[in-house]
Amino acid sequence: MSIDIETKLRIYMLIASRYKALISEKEQKNISEIRQRCSPYGEFVKKLKERLAGNVVNYSYEQDFLHAVERVLEYSRTIKNFELLITFWMTFEEIDEIKAANPMDKSILITALLRAFGSENVRVLVTKNNRSYVSFDQSNKKYVVIPESGSLLVGDDANKLIEDNPLAYSFSDLIYESYEE
* C-alpha span between 171 and 26 (Å, rounded): 22
Angle, in degrees to the nearest 10, between helices 103-116 and 61-76: 150
Secondary structure (3-state) at 145: strand
Which residues contact residue 109 at a Cβ distance below 8 angstroms, ignoring those fewer than 6 apart?
A: 76, 92, 95, 101
CB-CB contact of 103 with 131 (8 Å): yes
Which residues contact residue 171 at a Cβ distance below 8 angstroms, ignoring those fewer than 6 apart?
A: 31, 34, 35, 38, 123, 124, 126, 177
* C-alpha span between 79 and 96 (Å, rounded): 8
Average pLDDT over residues 126-139: 95
Q: What is the pLDDT of residues 143-158, one digit of tens each?
A: 999 999 999 999 999 9
CB-CB contact of 52 with 68 (8 Å): yes
pTM here is 0.90
Q: What is the pLDDT of residues 83-115, one digit of tens each?
A: 887 778 999 999 999 999 999 999 999 999 999
* pLDDT at 24 exceeding the cut of 80: no
Per CATH, domain 35-178 is 3.30.1360.10 = no
